[in-house]
Structure 1
């Protein structure tokens, strides 16, 4: 097993960091890693906003409902960005409406997520800790206004990183028998039977976010999270449309 795989198998979310900055030399290396990430059609339709303004960090922490967001040594927001290519096309006297379609949106969203994971792999390989913030979507419209995002952009996810100041337990994962299939999707008669052992294992995991308390079983977590509804996030497609993207729903195709 090489060092890269060993580091990936030891991945854990780090939420507390030492009070020291990541050197700019390392930041430049991570930016280059982001730059070299695979991209759909070679169009590089995503961008990063590096948050250095403490006031913006504080507001993002409020949006995320996670106070430690404000204390991130580095906080990057990965952005769906079709604005840039749209402007390039206009300057070439091309005004195709396809720049707004869902194909372009998901190409850019995938680009952003791949870029974020590439940065995580690189950061962890040199001893930095990382934490994703999907919670920026708690109020995507507010994030859009905060970051002054133009039409045809959208915040995909946030990433915090720095030098770890905690050593959390490695979180148990579900057996890949339930998550990897060959040729066709496989359904099981009873998922509760299939995850019985995993449910038990999960209850031995200590979550540092909950005063170092053991977590509930995975199956109970599924139910709890489904009941924990965020009405703003449920309407997130409206925000995407407001950003200029076209859902192009065809009722004849809906089932």
Structure 2
């Protein structure tokens, strides 16, 4: 049992790595990680996702601009995971089958979940190999631009970016809120005073940010919640329109 528990040390030490050394990831390792992605469980076995490995410097810089994070362009490896219902649509059409279901909401979310699971599997493998990784959910800041940069056809959609390589930093592990607020038995639990329940966590987060960068003050978690709600990125609120432009029928009904 002890040896089995040792296997959990890697995921329990997870940290986001944003800076990498100049050491390249060899192609054998890249291919191994792609095999890890390829063996990820997928909804009904349809494998409705794909990966775009971004190597072109101009494309990297353009994606970094969308993300508002210049270090995106410096990631040793930059992979964008995408919903891909296009491939299966073509497979069906080449058999003379043209169905509206190829672009329905179920197809979209199957691909979204498939791609997200694959991204996490790759991250687990990256860390098991002693490297580090960072997710770029910020590709959602302007998905239309990312679609343009990657020349994505209809029935595809960017989910998340993943940067990885050999770490060039040793960040602290980020504290997490109490499990009591995130894990329930049989039914969802609600509480009368959440601020009281996360008071210690707020203090822990303040200490974490103070130690990480004393010159770049960051508020406690509860204040960050408010800041995130206030700091809306307009393009992200209209993402459903981008999904539609990619040919998916989300079948939204007005009240």
Normalised to the residue count of structure 1, the TM-score between the two structures is 0.95
Q: For residues 17-56 of structure 1, what are the structure 2 equivalents within 5 Å? A: 17-56=20-59
Other-structure match for 1:170: 173
Q: For residues 150-189 of structure 1, what are the structure 2 equivalents within 5 Å? A: 150-189=153-192
CA distance, structure 2, for counterparts of residue 133 and residue 64 of structure 1: 7
CA distance, structure 2, for counterparts of residue 105 and residue 185 of structure 1: 27
Give the ranges of 4+ consecutive aligned residues of structure 1 lying more than 4 Å apart after TM superposition.
207-212
C-alpha distance 19-207 of structure 1, shift in aligned 2 (>3 A): farther
Q: For residues 63-142 of structure 1, what are the structure 2 equivalents within 5 Å? A: 63-142=66-145
| Residues 202-254 of structure 1, C-alpha deviations (whole Å, 9 max, x = no match) | 10113798676453110000001111011111100000000000111234xx5
Of 235, 238, 243, 1:235 maps to 238
| Residues 3-61 of structure 1, C-alpha deviations (whole Å, 9 max, x = no match) | 43101010000000001100111101101000000000000000000011011001111
Does 2:215 correspond to 1:215?
no
Of 54, 57, 61, 2:60 maps to 57
CA distance, structure 1, for counterparts of residue 73 and residue 6 of structure 2: 32
Does 2:249 correspond to 1:246?
yes
Local SS of the residue matching 2:164: strand
CA contact (8 A) 1:82 1:99 kept: yes
CA contact (8 A) 2:172 2:212 kept: no
Other-structure match for 1:149: 152
Local SS of the residue matching 2:78: strand
Q: CA deviation at 1:183?
A: 1.1
Runs of 5+ unmatched residues, structure 2: none
- How many residue pairs get aligned? The number is 252
Other-structure match for 1:204: 207
CA contact (8 A) 1:204 1:214 kept: no
